[in-house]
Structure 1
Amino acid sequence: MSKLALLTTSIGAALSSFTAIAESKEQHAQLTTEVIEVTGTRRSLRSISESTVPVDIIGIDEMQSSGQMELSQVLTTLIPSFNFPNSQLADGTDHARPAVLRGLAPDHTLVLINGKRRHAGALLNLNGTVGRGSSAVDLNTIPTAAIKRIEVLRDGAAAQYGSDAIAGVINIILKDADQGGSVSLTYGQNDTQMAGSAQLLETYSDEQGDLAFKKGSDRRVKDGETTTLSANLGLSLFEQGFINLSGELRDKNATNRSGIDQREQYSRDDNGTLDPREFNAQRYNHRFGKPDLKDYALFYNAGYTLDNDLSLYSFGSYSQREGNSGGFFRRPKDSRNVSDVYPDGFLPQIESDVKDFSFALGLSGTHNNWDYDISTSYGQNDFAFSVVNSINTSMGAQSPTEFDNGSLIYDQWLVNAQAKTDFDLGLYDDVFFTIGAEYRKENYKIQAGEQASYLTVLDSQGVPVAAGGAQVLAGFSPASAVDETRNNIALFAEFDTYLSENWNLVFATRFEDYNDFGSTLTGKLASRYVFNENLSFRGALSSGFRAPSLAQTSYKSIATVFEDGQPNEVGLFPVDTTAAKALGAKPLEAEESVNITAGFIYEYDNFSLTLDAYQIDIDDRIVLSENLSGPAVETILQTAGENNVQRVRYFTNAIDSSTRGVDIVATYGFDLEALGMLNLSVAVNFNDTEVTNVKANPTELSDLGEDYQYFARREIARFEDATPKDKWNLVATWRFEQWTSTVKATRYGEVQDPSSNIDNDEVLAAKWITDLDIAYRVNEQWRLAIGANNVFDQYPQDTVGNIGFSNFNQIFPYSAFSAYNTDGRFVYAKVSMTF
């Protein structure tokens, strides 16, 4: 049971929590006069300037002035502490890439839709990428056409919104217009030259009879053709309500940034002579890039005013994504190949079919000076896997080449009730008071695939005859199937008042009880103080928590992995299984955090400057252990009844961490009179995460010797160095008559792609990425735009130049830990119509 309670006291202030990008005067005026609800407080504010914590507001214009096609990509160019890391050859993660805020885990950021908790995705990220071991909300299921604005709270808010809000909160407000609409069509493609990756001109045999290659200049590529069609429509409902509909279709072709495969593809003859087929073999035989994706999404947002000050509201969504990504090419002579089926080798491919559904219904009203809101919502994410162009090697030529691998399914049901009012307690101002309760039920399922997808054929001695399961990704077996449910109840309260004309104080607390691991109490104290009409201070001190996800507590899989020609059964076991407990696994506990934020804002005329420093200490972080292996481990597993498993890993509360950083945002608007309006902004994040403590090895492992470590150096480095230490977002927007030009320059600081051997770490130097968008408004309805993302075609340093020559460094020329997209320049054109 968690005993972390409220830590209180802080001083702070803010006249404004300005957007991280420059806004036009018209937008600014609208935001500062509208009575709105801002993420971070449940009090209705006259403007965002009354918020006690830093909140970035991103409007429609900022989302439109970009060729970025996915919401996560839009945010990373606008919010300096938000990152959407690159990933390649990472199985399901290629199809649903996670994003991170302030360098923490993807599941440390809570996502809300219209202030209501959004359900997480079913995918558990298990490969060696940023976010390993986490499940996160798939932001890219939400079309930008449906969004009115986005509020990004850069502060811990578990005491207000519950689990996961350690790094911050992203609240997406849906459009609510009851008339008009828009339609837009965007087409673009990558037109790029791969820095450091040469074009193959000829394959031949050298004087020693070995393969040799003639290479040209850096390879020129055009691919990734992307078409996006989006629409929005507002309709009135009997003059007392509205329904706002949005839809988006996106068809994105795959990209490929693989280099030359210089390995011998075929076995030599008895005389040691190269096979003649080597000279015509496909040397660009991998697909190292983004998957082929086809998405469509439908959203609605509706409201209706009833009698007696009652309002009924509802919103919901349905989306589907079909994806295809490549794995590692199996050469013709590979032991995992069946030459009778694939005489020239094969590239196995993972396909996904992701269906996402959500629905919310609520009633709000006023009674005896109390404003109340009662709602229920349901969300489900169904992530189905299949494998094509593959084989189950152990089945030989009788194996199918396409497999149904099974599904991951997560769903969430919530009931939320809250009420707010104000009391006169004799203070300078009335005390604004909110009280509420929430019930949440979650379910996580793993559904088994077809038998051939996981089957391993054994010989008469019970030994695998070859690699089992579908090549590239084995299916879920019946032994991996799970169906786990849990529920929790939360009670929360919030107090907000002015102690003087210039001093605002907010106190919040939340109690949550989970049926599977216990309860926790969190709290938050936030304040702002207006020093004078130009300068204000703000700050907050809070405790937080993140409950272990159902995927982390229940996910189970066993797969055959060949290393040096030898099959190994690698299992990921829940902590309550015999195998995991025999190797030291303990029941998972909630992560606990302490967040401190302090800063100021300065304004003078059209200039504003905000600075917010923060420290986030997290105890008992949930991580995925190393792959534990060796003779002693195999003996323990046999004793535990897992006779066919050689390696095992499990989730564990292994580490404590401390994250420190500073967010700085400066904006200035120039009135150029006859030449229009120029808005400039600079947004900077400095961030550093340190693993402050690695828990002692479990006794079950320490008794085996020093070589058996459940959390080692490579994983520590991923936490500390895999996201940028600093990031700069520079934006310039010039509006002149019908023209709008936007330049965004983003500097991604240094990151590292860590190895188990420190000498093999790959350091990726800081790099500037520049985007350009030029738009012309033909009339009130029609708008045309052209532009380019990564207009100067920047790539990270190639792996050969970074860490030395190897065949694999030739095939995969860029690190998958790059903080930015490694597809190069993307050029596009967009036409939109409003009505």
Structure 2
Amino acid sequence: MRYRALLLAAASLTAFTATAHAQTAAPAADEATVEQIVVTGTRVARSRLDTVSPVDIVDNKALTRQGTPELAQALANLAPSIDFPRPAVTDGTDSVRPATLRGLSPDQTLVLLNGHRAHTSALVNINGSIGRGSAPFDLNTIPTAALQSVEILREGAAAQYGSDAIAGVINLRLREARSGGGATATYGVYNTNIETTRNTSGRHANDGPTYSASLWQGFALPNDGFLTVTGEYSYRNPTNRSDLDPRVTPNKVTGIYGDPQVETKTVYANFGLPVNDSWKLYGLAGYQNRKGQSAAFPRLADNANNYVSVYPNGYIPKITTDIDDYNAEFGAKGDIAGFTVDASVNYGSNKVKYGTINSINASLGPSSPTSFKDGSMQYGQTVAAIDVNRPLELFHFAKPSTLAFGVEYRDETYKIKAGETASWVNGGNGKGAGAQGFPGFRPTNAVDVSRHSTSLYADLDNQVTDKFDVDLAVRYEDYSDFGSTTIGKIAARYDLTDSFAIRGAYSSGFRAPALQQQYFTTTSINIIGGAAVDVGTFPATSATAAALGAKPLEPEKSKNYSFGAVYHKGPFELTVDAYQIDINNRIVLSENIQGSATGTPTQQAIYSLLQPFGVTTARFFINGVETKTKGVDIVGRYRLDADEAGRFDLTLAANFNDTKVDKVPTTSTLSSLPVPPSLFARVNVATYEQGTPDKKFVASGEWTNGPWGATLKGAFYGSVLIPNSNQALDYRSGDHTVWDLEARYTFLKKVTWAVGANNLFDEYPNRAPAAVNTTGVVGFPGFSPFGFNGRFLYTRLSYSW
């Protein structure tokens, strides 16, 4: 608490001192937005092609010239190193879908908002999706209309930014406009032919109509300051790509498998205000509400947990999510005695409220409610930081070195609140207890925990000669729950000619166990042998998990190696970067450890361990997985001015990626059993190794000629594996290429009309085989890196002023 009070006070005092000492000064020039200038991964702003580390820049035009309102989807369409699968029938993950960078866990990429650490989602992914066990940042909480650009640092940067930056960093930069504005309205719908394993003749669908509208406006503040306000609304109707259900005669579609219904309302404000020649204030505020509704597996009329008097034709439980996401920041930046000081305080919060509708608590009999409030999860984060830098004359280097150092205090909170009694209670009649589809959190699942951490860092950028640049960084972090760690980084670049340079880096990194992973708990009741038993996910520090040998979670540790080259001459540029990322002590969600009083000797031993807690099956988060990821990123770009034919901007980018699991976790307790159960079984190992594409290519062409414009983009996705508990039933999504096309025309100089098609040729991943889809629900693999919804047609009308 002492450190928290001191740092919060210092950051706030520094910020407000700038206002108190402000004097009348001549207005400063507007800060020009230069797309090619990079501020991520370096303490010295550089041209994108002059950086020591590989950075991709995606501007607002590239993000918005697509048919999707989702930021994560837009980035995945453009960046080969980003994967954004669209899982379905995975509870809350349907509405909070995680993205991955370089095939690593979603929470191993740090997300920044205007250069400062952003908060993660309260949701932890516990079902069979990519990113199982992670609690990452939700990219879709930030509207694309509010963004000026996105910088993707493809290199470990924990020594510079702290925990989570193992795979890299994504910096979301909000608009900085003091005038002008724009309004955009988009409508789109899927127009597709669905051919599934049991229905090869196919069916046609026009579904998932999506509406979105955005509005942004820049306002002038004194001294050439700015205030930019953005509002965005979107509504997406659900899609359904289920197969026919073989359990009913005649076979028909009984499930819902596709995009959930989602309504999103977002508002953001970003400001900068110079107060004198040396100091300026800055800040942001943002809020999003997202309401989602997704489907669970169907319960047919004869299901054991159905009452025909309530649902004579069976039912499909619907899981609802009501998400509130907040961001707020205030800071000041200026000069003190030759040092540039940046002091800031930011707060972020994400709350997910769960509900279940069209459901029943079968254990309560036919008088059970059919809708439930299932409880909520909430994560909060407060960060206070002071960052300082100044030039230093060292060793007669070609240019002054830049020394940067700083301190950061972070306070985190995590809460789980119980649902209403009917959502989780066991009525005692031998049927399924709790809301069907998503049982509510029990009072025993409720948690209210917090932790804090303090970090110190130093970064020295040395321009040794005109051609040789070396960057050194070191960081120390101390957490209240597991102790401290020290990490470092060295990166260098050498310009062999004006056109050709080589670069490389080595760094150590870490990721602190998330509070969500440390304390998430949920319990449901299964009827086994006619008796009601608890089955659940338990914190590693709980008595239940400890009985199986679980220990408090520790940080993940990484070593990152990279080597690359940059070539640019005239309108052509090419970057090639190879990397290796070794991660030890990765945190994963264990398999279900199941006991039985009458099973095998191992099951009986587990039953004895768990019996004192009234539980027969348990899982928990555990350290111990070791992986090695190797890959290459290639990005080529060529710009051509063809006079009367117009201007062309051509890009070809590729990512090759390979991950191997070298070690899986164990506990001494379970290892001593006759046949030790696996804590991280083949399915999860295969998901780590082959669940994301081993190669992805993106080719795009942008053409403009007066009022006309067009974008053509093709993305090739390597096949991914969909593993099953029975290895003989494993199948693959297949290699596929998806083409997107958009045409635009601007009239009256300010109004632009666009029409386009995502997945122009209606490409689908390989169908889910009948043997792994016995209910007919899962028509296509949820691991598919380009989804499974088919062709999407859209039109967009924009007006700028």
Query: How is 1:308-347 mapped onto 2 (pairs within 5 angstroms)?
Result: 309-347=278-316
Check if 1:444 corresponds to 2:411.
no
Could you report, residue by residue, the CA deviation over 1:558-597 in whole angstroms, capped at 9, with x for unpaired residues? 1124689986531111111111011111111100000011
Question: Separation in 1 of the partners of 2:35 and 2:416?
Answer: 49
Matching residue within 638, 647, 664 for 1:668 = 638
Secondary structure of 2:455's partner? Answer: strand
Mapped contact 2:122–2:378 kept (Cα < 8 A): yes
Assess, with a 3 A threshold, how the Cα gap between structure 1 residues 390 and 678 changes in structure 2: closer, same or farther.
same
Mapped contact 1:633–1:646 kept (Cα < 8 A): no
Matching residue within 703, 714, 729 for 2:698 = 729
Q: Kindly provide the amino acid, as one letter, of the partner of residue 255 in structure 1.
A: T
1:812 CA drift (Å): 2.0
Secondary structure of 1:340's partner? Answer: coil
Secondary structure of 2:93's partner? Answer: helix
Q: Kindly provide the amino acid, as one letter, of the partner of residue 525 in structure 1.
A: I
Query: How is 1:13-24 mapped onto 2 (pairs within 5 angstroms)?
Result: none
1:713 CA drift (Å): 1.1
Check if 1:711 corresponds to 2:680.
yes
Question: Separation in 2 of the partners of 1:439 and 1:806?
Answer: 49
Mapped contact 1:198–1:218 kept (Cα < 8 A): no
Check if 1:256 corresponds to 2:257.
no
Matching residue within 431, 439, 444 for 1:466 = 431
Secondary structure of 1:43's partner? Answer: coil
Could you report, residue by residue, the CA deviation over 1:315-348 in whole angstroms, capped at 9, with x for unpaired residues? 0200000010110110111111122211211110
Matching residue within 520, 529, 548 for 2:494 = 529
Matching residue within 737, 742, 746 for 2:711 = 742
Q: Kindly provide the amino acid, as one letter, of the partner of residue 279 in structure 2.
A: L
Mapped contact 2:255–2:776 kept (Cα < 8 A): no
225-234 vs 666-675, greater mean Cα deviation:
666-675
Question: Separation in 2 of the partners of 1:408 and 1:806?
Answer: 33
User: For residue 289 of structure 1, what is the aligned residue in structure 2?
Assistant: 258
Check if 1:833 corresponds to 2:799.
yes
Assess, with a 3 A threshold, how the Cα gap between structure 1 residues 497 and 713 changes in structure 2: closer, same or farther.
same
Matching residue within 203, 210, 218 for 2:202 = 218
TM value normalised by structure 2: 0.93
Check if 1:40 corresponds to 2:41.
yes
TM value normalised by structure 1: 0.89
Secondary structure of 1:551's partner? Answer: helix
Query: How is 1:195-594 mapped onto 2 (pairs within 5 angstroms)?
Result: 195-196=195-196, 217-264=201-248, 283-307=252-276, 309-428=278-397, 429-458=399-428, 465-561=430-526, 569-594=534-559
User: For residue 567 of structure 2, what is the aligned residue in structure 1?
Assistant: 602
User: For residue 130 of structure 1, what is the aligned residue in structure 2?
Assistant: 130
User: For residue 587 of structure 2, what is the aligned residue in structure 1?
Assistant: 622
1:805 CA drift (Å): 4.6
Q: Kindly provide the amino acid, as one letter, of the partner of residue 437 in structure 2.
A: V
Question: Separation in 2 of the partners of 1:809 and 1:467?
Answer: 19
Question: Separation in 2 of the partners of 1:86 and 1:458?
Answer: 38
Q: Kindly provide the amino acid, as one letter, of the partner of residue 245 in structure 1.
A: V
Check if 1:85 corresponds to 2:85.
yes
User: For residue 790 of structure 1, what is the aligned residue in structure 2?
Assistant: 759
1:138 CA drift (Å): 0.7
Question: Separation in 2 of the partners of 1:69 and 1:661?
Answer: 30
1:806 CA drift (Å): 6.4
Q: Kindly provide the amino acid, as one letter, of the partner of residue 116 in structure 1.
A: H
Question: Separation in 2 of the partners of 1:809 and 1:318?
Answer: 40
Secondary structure of 2:615's partner? Answer: coil
1:629 CA drift (Å): 0.5
Q: Kindly provide the amino acid, as one letter, of the partner of residue 116 in structure 2.
A: K
1:506 CA drift (Å): 0.5
Question: Separation in 2 of the partners of 1:648 and 1:477?
Answer: 16
Q: Kindly provide the amino acid, as one letter, of the partner of residue 239 in structure 2.
A: T
Question: Separation in 2 of the partners of 1:533 and 1:454?
Answer: 67
Secondary structure of 1:715's partner? Answer: helix
Could you report, residue by residue, the CA deviation over 1:143-196 in whole angstroms, capped at 9, with x for unpaired residues? 011000110000000000000000000001110110000000000000000133
1:614 CA drift (Å): 0.2
426-435 vs 487-496, greater mean Cα deviation:
426-435
1:426 CA drift (Å): 2.8
Question: Separation in 2 of the partners of 1:122 and 1:295?
Answer: 17
Mapped contact 2:49–2:566 kept (Cα < 8 A): no
Assess, with a 3 A threshold, how the Cα gap between structure 1 residues 369 and 510 changes in structure 2: closer, same or farther.
same
717-726 vs 686-695, greater mean Cα deviation:
686-695
1:829 CA drift (Å): 0.2
User: For residue 213 of structure 1, what is the aligned residue in structure 2?
Assistant: none
1:643 CA drift (Å): 4.3
1:121 CA drift (Å): 0.3
Question: Separation in 1 of the partners of 2:761 and 2:718?
Answer: 18
Count matched residues.
764
Could you report, residue by residue, the CA deviation over 1:487-515 in whole angstroms, capped at 9, with x for unpaired residues? 00000010011111110111111100001
User: For residue 654 of structure 2, what is the aligned residue in structure 1?
Assistant: 684
Secondary structure of 1:165's partner? Answer: coil
Check if 1:816 corresponds to 2:782.
yes
Question: Separation in 1 of the partners of 2:282 and 2:626?
Answer: 42
State, as a whole percentage, how many aligned pairs show the same letter.
Answer: 40
Mapped contact 1:456–1:468 kept (Cα < 8 A): yes
Assess, with a 3 A threshold, how the Cα gap between structure 1 residues 468 and 142 changes in structure 2: closer, same or farther.
same
Question: Separation in 2 of the partners of 1:639 and 1:249?
Answer: 52
Could you report, residue by residue, the CA deviation over 1:596-635 in whole angstroms, capped at 9, with x for unpaired residues? 1100011222111110000000000000111001225576
1:37 CA drift (Å): 5.0
1:533 CA drift (Å): 1.5
Question: Separation in 1 of the partners of 2:38 and 2:280?
Answer: 16
Mapped contact 1:634–1:646 kept (Cα < 8 A): no
Question: Separation in 2 of the partners of 1:563 and 1:642?
Answer: 17
528-537 vs 564-573, greater mean Cα deviation:
564-573
Mapped contact 2:38–2:151 kept (Cα < 8 A): no
Assess, with a 3 A threshold, how the Cα gap between structure 1 residues 289 and 573 changes in structure 2: closer, same or farther.
same
1:705 CA drift (Å): 2.2
Q: Kindly provide the amino acid, as one letter, of the partner of residue 534 in structure 1.
A: S
Secondary structure of 1:159's partner? Answer: helix
Q: Kindly provide the amino acid, as one letter, of the partner of residue 477 in structure 1.
A: R
The CA RMSD measured in Å over matched residues stands at: 1.8
1:759 CA drift (Å): 1.1
Question: Separation in 2 of the partners of 1:566 and 1:150?
Answer: 54
Question: Separation in 1 of the partners of 2:699 and 2:38?
Answer: 28
Mapped contact 2:537–2:620 kept (Cα < 8 A): yes
Mapped contact 2:212–2:234 kept (Cα < 8 A): yes
Secondary structure of 1:646's partner? Answer: strand
Question: Separation in 2 of the partners of 1:42 and 1:708?
Answer: 49
Mapped contact 2:610–2:616 kept (Cα < 8 A): no
User: For residue 745 of structure 2, what is the aligned residue in structure 1?
Assistant: 776
Secondary structure of 1:811's partner? Answer: coil
Question: Separation in 2 of the partners of 1:37 and 1:812?
Answer: 43
Mapped contact 1:579–1:641 kept (Cα < 8 A): no
Q: Kindly provide the amino acid, as one letter, of the partner of residue 761 in structure 2.
A: F
232-241 vs 520-529, greater mean Cα deviation:
232-241
User: For residue 652 of structure 1, what is the aligned residue in structure 2?
Assistant: 622
Secondary structure of 1:799's partner? Answer: coil
Q: Kindly provide the amino acid, as one letter, of the partner of residue 152 in structure 2.
A: V
Assess, with a 3 A threshold, how the Cα gap between structure 1 residues 515 and 643 changes in structure 2: closer, same or farther.
closer
1:457 CA drift (Å): 2.0
Assess, with a 3 A threshold, how the Cα gap between structure 1 residues 32 and 349 changes in structure 2: closer, same or farther.
closer
Check if 1:169 corresponds to 2:164.
no
User: For residue 21 of structure 1, what is the aligned residue in structure 2?
Assistant: none
Secondary structure of 1:72's partner? Answer: helix
